[in-house]
Structure 1
Amino acid sequence: MLYLCLARPDIADIWEQSPVIRFRDANGQQKNHVPDFLLTFIDGRRLAVAIKAVARVENTGFRDTLRYIRAAMPPEYADDLTLVTERSYTQSAARNAQKLHEFRRTPDPEADAAVADAIGAAPVVTTIAQLVERTGLGGRAFRATFKSTFSGMLRVLDAGDILPSTRVQWEGAK
Protein backbone atom coordinates (compact mmCIF):
# COMPACT_ATOMS: atom_id res chain seq x y z
CA MET A 1 0.00 0.00 0.00
CA LEU A 2 2.86 2.39 0.76
CA TYR A 3 4.17 2.10 -2.81
CA LEU A 4 0.71 2.91 -4.17
CA CYS A 5 0.65 6.09 -2.07
CA LEU A 6 4.19 7.05 -3.08
CA ALA A 7 3.20 6.69 -6.74
CA ARG A 8 0.38 9.22 -6.48
CA PRO A 9 1.31 12.76 -7.52
CA ASP A 10 -1.57 14.23 -5.48
CA ILE A 11 -0.18 13.02 -2.14
CA ALA A 12 2.21 15.50 -0.53
CA ASP A 13 2.99 13.67 2.71
CA ILE A 14 2.62 10.19 4.20
CA TRP A 15 2.75 9.62 7.93
CA GLU A 16 2.99 5.97 8.92
CA GLN A 17 1.49 4.92 12.24
CA SER A 18 0.08 8.34 13.05
CA PRO A 19 -1.11 9.26 16.57
CA VAL A 20 -3.75 7.19 18.30
CA ILE A 21 -7.47 7.93 17.97
CA ARG A 22 -9.39 7.20 21.16
CA PHE A 23 -12.97 6.01 20.71
CA ARG A 24 -15.75 4.13 22.45
CA ASP A 25 -16.94 0.89 20.88
CA ALA A 26 -20.53 -0.39 20.68
CA ASN A 27 -20.33 -1.48 24.35
CA GLY A 28 -19.07 1.91 25.49
CA GLN A 29 -15.58 0.60 26.20
CA GLN A 30 -12.66 2.97 25.64
CA LYS A 31 -10.48 1.73 22.76
CA ASN A 32 -7.55 3.01 20.75
CA HIS A 33 -6.94 2.89 17.02
CA VAL A 34 -3.74 3.85 15.21
CA PRO A 35 -4.32 4.45 11.50
CA ASP A 36 -1.74 2.81 9.27
CA PHE A 37 -1.28 6.02 7.30
CA LEU A 38 -2.22 9.65 7.53
CA LEU A 39 -2.09 11.08 4.01
CA THR A 40 -1.88 14.78 3.27
CA PHE A 41 -2.86 15.72 -0.26
CA ILE A 42 -1.40 18.65 -2.16
CA ASP A 43 -4.72 20.49 -1.79
CA GLY A 44 -4.41 20.22 2.02
CA ARG A 45 -6.98 17.46 2.59
CA ARG A 46 -5.96 14.81 5.12
CA LEU A 47 -7.07 11.19 5.02
CA ALA A 48 -6.52 8.60 7.75
CA VAL A 49 -6.16 5.09 6.32
CA ALA A 50 -6.83 1.78 8.05
CA ILE A 51 -5.41 -1.23 6.21
CA LYS A 52 -6.95 -4.61 6.99
CA ALA A 53 -7.31 -7.98 5.32
CA VAL A 54 -10.81 -8.59 3.94
CA ALA A 55 -11.15 -11.76 6.01
CA ARG A 56 -10.39 -9.83 9.19
CA VAL A 57 -12.84 -7.07 8.29
CA GLU A 58 -15.59 -9.61 7.66
CA ASN A 59 -14.84 -11.81 10.69
CA THR A 60 -14.46 -9.05 13.28
CA GLY A 61 -17.06 -6.51 12.20
CA PHE A 62 -14.34 -3.92 11.68
CA ARG A 63 -16.60 -1.83 9.42
CA ASP A 64 -18.82 -1.15 12.43
CA THR A 65 -15.77 -0.32 14.54
CA LEU A 66 -14.60 2.04 11.82
CA ARG A 67 -17.81 4.05 12.22
CA TYR A 68 -17.06 4.58 15.92
CA ILE A 69 -13.46 5.54 15.16
CA ARG A 70 -14.56 7.98 12.46
CA ALA A 71 -17.14 9.57 14.78
CA ALA A 72 -14.51 10.08 17.51
CA MET A 73 -11.78 11.35 15.20
CA PRO A 74 -11.09 15.04 15.87
CA PRO A 75 -11.68 17.27 12.81
CA GLU A 76 -8.10 18.57 12.98
CA TYR A 77 -6.76 15.01 12.79
CA ALA A 78 -8.11 14.26 9.30
CA ASP A 79 -11.00 15.05 7.00
CA ASP A 80 -11.98 11.40 6.75
CA LEU A 81 -11.00 7.85 7.62
CA THR A 82 -11.08 5.13 5.00
CA LEU A 83 -10.60 1.38 4.94
CA VAL A 84 -8.23 -0.23 2.45
CA THR A 85 -8.18 -3.98 1.84
CA GLU A 86 -6.52 -6.13 -0.78
CA ARG A 87 -9.68 -5.64 -2.83
CA SER A 88 -9.08 -1.87 -2.97
CA TYR A 89 -6.38 -2.17 -5.64
CA THR A 90 -5.14 -4.64 -8.22
CA GLN A 91 -1.97 -6.65 -7.80
CA SER A 92 -0.67 -5.19 -11.06
CA ALA A 93 -1.17 -1.66 -9.69
CA ALA A 94 0.85 -2.65 -6.60
CA ARG A 95 3.61 -4.18 -8.74
CA ASN A 96 3.73 -1.11 -10.99
CA ALA A 97 3.94 1.21 -7.98
CA GLN A 98 6.75 -0.85 -6.46
CA LYS A 99 8.64 -0.83 -9.75
CA LEU A 100 8.19 2.95 -9.99
CA HIS A 101 9.71 3.32 -6.53
CA GLU A 102 12.71 1.21 -7.58
CA PHE A 103 13.18 3.21 -10.80
CA ARG A 104 12.99 6.56 -8.98
CA ARG A 105 15.86 5.54 -6.71
CA THR A 106 18.35 5.96 -9.57
CA PRO A 107 17.73 9.23 -11.42
CA ASP A 108 18.82 9.29 -15.08
CA PRO A 109 18.26 12.80 -16.50
CA GLU A 110 19.81 11.82 -19.85
CA ALA A 111 17.34 8.96 -20.34
CA ASP A 112 14.45 11.15 -19.13
CA ALA A 113 15.34 13.81 -21.73
CA ALA A 114 15.76 11.23 -24.51
CA VAL A 115 12.36 9.74 -23.72
CA ALA A 116 10.73 13.19 -23.64
CA ASP A 117 12.18 13.85 -27.12
CA ALA A 118 11.02 10.43 -28.35
CA ILE A 119 7.51 11.05 -27.02
CA GLY A 120 7.32 14.35 -28.88
CA ALA A 121 8.35 12.70 -32.15
CA ALA A 122 6.24 9.53 -31.76
CA PRO A 123 2.72 8.85 -32.98
CA VAL A 124 -0.01 9.84 -30.53
CA VAL A 125 -0.50 6.17 -29.59
CA THR A 126 2.57 3.96 -29.42
CA THR A 127 4.07 1.23 -27.27
CA ILE A 128 6.71 1.57 -24.62
CA ALA A 129 8.97 -0.68 -26.71
CA GLN A 130 8.70 1.68 -29.69
CA LEU A 131 9.64 4.67 -27.52
CA VAL A 132 12.56 2.76 -26.02
CA GLU A 133 13.76 1.81 -29.51
CA ARG A 134 13.64 5.46 -30.65
CA THR A 135 16.08 6.44 -27.90
CA GLY A 136 18.63 3.65 -28.36
CA LEU A 137 19.08 3.55 -24.59
CA GLY A 138 17.52 0.14 -23.89
CA GLY A 139 16.64 -0.50 -20.26
CA ARG A 140 17.49 3.05 -19.24
CA ALA A 141 14.80 4.30 -21.62
CA PHE A 142 12.34 1.68 -20.39
CA ARG A 143 12.73 2.98 -16.84
CA ALA A 144 12.38 6.61 -18.00
CA THR A 145 9.30 5.76 -20.08
CA PHE A 146 7.80 3.81 -17.19
CA LYS A 147 8.28 6.84 -14.90
CA SER A 148 6.69 9.13 -17.50
CA THR A 149 3.46 7.11 -17.25
CA PHE A 150 3.24 8.18 -13.60
CA SER A 151 4.35 11.77 -14.13
CA GLY A 152 1.42 12.48 -16.43
CA MET A 153 3.44 12.76 -19.64
CA LEU A 154 2.03 9.47 -20.95
CA ARG A 155 -1.31 7.78 -20.33
CA VAL A 156 -1.32 3.99 -20.17
CA LEU A 157 -4.00 2.51 -22.44
CA ASP A 158 -3.72 -1.15 -21.38
CA ALA A 159 -4.65 -2.61 -18.00
CA GLY A 160 -2.21 -4.68 -15.98
CA ASP A 161 1.52 -4.60 -15.52
CA ILE A 162 3.34 -1.91 -17.47
CA LEU A 163 5.49 -3.81 -19.97
CA PRO A 164 7.37 -3.03 -23.20
CA SER A 165 4.22 -4.06 -25.11
CA THR A 166 2.01 -1.64 -23.17
CA ARG A 167 0.30 0.95 -25.37
CA VAL A 168 0.65 4.54 -24.25
CA GLN A 169 -0.68 7.89 -25.42
CA TRP A 170 1.10 11.20 -25.21
CA GLU A 171 -1.02 13.35 -22.90
CA GLY A 172 -0.25 16.53 -24.85
CA ALA A 173 -2.09 15.16 -27.88
CA LYS A 174 -5.63 15.26 -26.47
Structure 2
Amino acid sequence: MIAIRRDLPIGFADRVCLVTERNRHRIEVQNAELLNFFRRCSDDEADRIIAEQIKKLSCDIAICELIKPTGLAARGFRSVFRAIYAGELQANTSERITLNTIVSKRKGLS
Protein backbone atom coordinates (compact mmCIF):
# COMPACT_ATOMS: atom_id res chain seq x y z
CA MET A 1 0.00 0.00 0.00
CA ILE A 2 2.88 2.34 0.75
CA ALA A 3 4.31 1.83 -2.75
CA ILE A 4 0.92 2.50 -4.36
CA ARG A 5 0.41 5.66 -2.30
CA ARG A 6 3.95 6.80 -3.13
CA ASP A 7 3.48 6.30 -6.89
CA LEU A 8 0.08 8.02 -7.18
CA PRO A 9 0.09 11.45 -8.81
CA ILE A 10 -0.39 14.28 -6.31
CA GLY A 11 -4.07 15.10 -5.94
CA PHE A 12 -5.24 11.82 -7.50
CA ALA A 13 -6.59 10.37 -4.25
CA ASP A 14 -6.98 11.44 -0.63
CA ARG A 15 -6.14 7.96 0.65
CA VAL A 16 -5.42 4.42 -0.49
CA CYS A 17 -7.21 1.38 0.89
CA LEU A 18 -7.74 -2.23 -0.12
CA VAL A 19 -11.33 -3.27 -0.78
CA THR A 20 -12.12 -6.95 -1.31
CA GLU A 21 -15.28 -8.98 -1.68
CA ARG A 22 -15.19 -9.40 2.11
CA ASN A 23 -15.92 -5.67 2.43
CA ARG A 24 -19.08 -5.87 0.30
CA HIS A 25 -22.40 -7.68 0.47
CA ARG A 26 -22.39 -10.78 -1.73
CA ILE A 27 -25.17 -9.34 -3.95
CA GLU A 28 -23.06 -6.24 -4.64
CA VAL A 29 -20.14 -8.52 -5.48
CA GLN A 30 -22.28 -10.60 -7.87
CA ASN A 31 -23.57 -7.46 -9.61
CA ALA A 32 -20.01 -6.11 -9.85
CA GLU A 33 -18.78 -9.39 -11.37
CA LEU A 34 -21.56 -9.27 -13.97
CA LEU A 35 -20.82 -5.63 -14.75
CA ASN A 36 -17.15 -6.44 -15.21
CA PHE A 37 -18.04 -9.25 -17.61
CA PHE A 38 -20.63 -7.16 -19.50
CA ARG A 39 -18.21 -4.26 -19.92
CA ARG A 40 -15.73 -6.62 -21.59
CA CYS A 41 -18.25 -7.54 -24.29
CA SER A 42 -19.24 -4.08 -25.49
CA ASP A 43 -22.06 -3.85 -27.98
CA ASP A 44 -22.45 -0.39 -29.48
CA GLU A 45 -25.51 -1.34 -31.51
CA ALA A 46 -27.40 -2.72 -28.49
CA ASP A 47 -26.33 0.25 -26.35
CA ARG A 48 -27.64 2.67 -28.99
CA ILE A 49 -30.99 0.85 -29.24
CA ILE A 50 -31.37 0.69 -25.45
CA ALA A 51 -30.48 4.40 -25.18
CA GLU A 52 -33.39 5.13 -27.53
CA GLN A 53 -35.71 3.01 -25.34
CA ILE A 54 -34.52 4.88 -22.25
CA LYS A 55 -35.34 8.24 -23.89
CA LYS A 56 -38.94 7.04 -24.38
CA LEU A 57 -39.40 5.94 -20.75
CA SER A 58 -42.08 7.74 -18.81
CA CYS A 59 -42.53 5.36 -15.86
CA ASP A 60 -40.89 2.52 -13.95
CA ILE A 61 -40.55 -0.70 -15.94
CA ALA A 62 -39.11 -4.18 -15.56
CA ILE A 63 -35.94 -4.79 -17.54
CA CYS A 64 -37.63 -7.61 -19.46
CA GLU A 65 -40.39 -5.20 -20.59
CA LEU A 66 -37.85 -2.55 -21.57
CA ILE A 67 -35.90 -4.91 -23.84
CA LYS A 68 -38.84 -6.92 -25.23
CA PRO A 69 -39.72 -4.52 -28.10
CA THR A 70 -36.07 -4.34 -29.16
CA GLY A 71 -35.70 -8.06 -29.84
CA LEU A 72 -32.21 -7.85 -28.31
CA ALA A 73 -32.78 -10.53 -25.65
CA ALA A 74 -29.50 -11.17 -23.74
CA ARG A 75 -27.72 -8.36 -25.60
CA GLY A 76 -30.41 -6.00 -24.34
CA PHE A 77 -30.05 -7.21 -20.76
CA ARG A 78 -26.30 -6.63 -20.86
CA SER A 79 -26.84 -3.16 -22.31
CA VAL A 80 -29.44 -2.24 -19.66
CA PHE A 81 -27.09 -3.52 -16.95
CA ARG A 82 -24.33 -1.27 -18.26
CA ALA A 83 -26.79 1.66 -18.47
CA ILE A 84 -27.69 1.23 -14.79
CA TYR A 85 -24.07 1.53 -13.70
CA ALA A 86 -23.44 4.35 -16.18
CA GLY A 87 -26.15 6.33 -14.39
CA GLU A 88 -28.60 6.37 -17.29
CA LEU A 89 -31.11 4.23 -15.40
CA GLN A 90 -31.94 3.90 -11.73
CA ALA A 91 -32.33 0.53 -10.05
CA ASN A 92 -31.90 -0.94 -6.60
CA THR A 93 -28.34 -2.20 -6.95
CA SER A 94 -28.33 -3.66 -3.45
CA GLU A 95 -30.49 -6.44 -4.90
CA ARG A 96 -29.42 -8.86 -7.61
CA ILE A 97 -30.17 -7.29 -10.99
CA THR A 98 -32.33 -9.63 -13.07
CA LEU A 99 -34.82 -9.39 -15.91
CA ASN A 100 -37.48 -8.64 -13.27
CA THR A 101 -35.60 -5.70 -11.77
CA ILE A 102 -37.58 -2.47 -11.97
CA VAL A 103 -35.73 0.43 -13.58
CA SER A 104 -36.54 4.06 -14.25
CA LYS A 105 -34.95 6.89 -16.16
CA ARG A 106 -32.47 8.68 -13.96
CA LYS A 107 -33.86 11.98 -12.72
CA GLY A 108 -32.59 14.85 -14.78
CA LEU A 109 -32.26 12.90 -18.05
CA SER A 110 -34.57 13.94 -20.84
| TM-score past 0.5 threshold | yes
Q: Which letter does structure 2 place at the counterpart of 1:160?
A: E
Shift of 1:106: 1.3
State the secondary structure of the residue aligned to 1:168. strand
2:16 is aligned with 1:19: no
Partner of 2:41: 106
CA separation in 2, counterparts of 1:20 and 1:132?
A: 42
Match of 2:52 in 1: 117
Q: CA deviation at 1:19?
A: 1.1
Letter in 1 for 2:12: G
In structure 1, the partner of 2:32 is: 97
Query: Percent identity, aligned pairs only?
Result: 25
Question: Does the CA contact (< 8 Å) of 2:57 and 2:104 recur in 1?
Answer: no
Instruction: Quote how far apart the aligned CAs of 1:157 are.
Output: 3.4
Q: Counterpart of 2:17 in 1: which secondary structure?
A: strand
Q: Distance in 2 between matches of 1:103 and 1:48?
A: 27
Partner letter of residue 86 of structure 2?
A: S
TM-score (norm 2): 0.80
Whose helix proportion is higher, 1 or 2? Answer: 2
Q: For structure 2, list consecutive stretches of 5 or more residues without a partner in the other structure.
A: none
CA offset at residue 20 of structure 1? 7.4
The structure whose residues are more often strand, as a share, is 1
Paired position in structure 2 for 1:130: 65
Shift in alpha-carbon separation, 1:120–1:85, aligned structure 2, 3 A: closer
1:158·1:166 contact (CA, 8 Å) conserved in 2? no
Cα distance in 2 between the residues matched to 1:112 and 1:91: 27
Q: Deviations over 1:34-83 (max 9, x none)?
A: xxxx988xx833431145xxxxxxxxxxxxxxxxxxxxxxxxxxxxxxxx
Corresponding position of 1:155: 90
Give SS of 1:94's match: helix
Superposition map of 1:1-174 within 5 A: 19=3, 44-50=12-18, 86=22, 88-157=23-92, 159-172=94-107
Matched letter for residue 3 of structure 2 = P
Q: 1:163 Cα shift?
A: 0.4
User: Could you tell me whether the CA contact under 8 Å between 1:126 and 1:168 is conserved in 2?
Assistant: yes
Distance in 1 of aligned mates of 2:21 and 2:96: 20
Unaligned runs of at least 5 residues, structure 1: 1-16, 22-37, 52-83
TM superposition outliers: structure 1 runs of 4+ over 3 Å: none
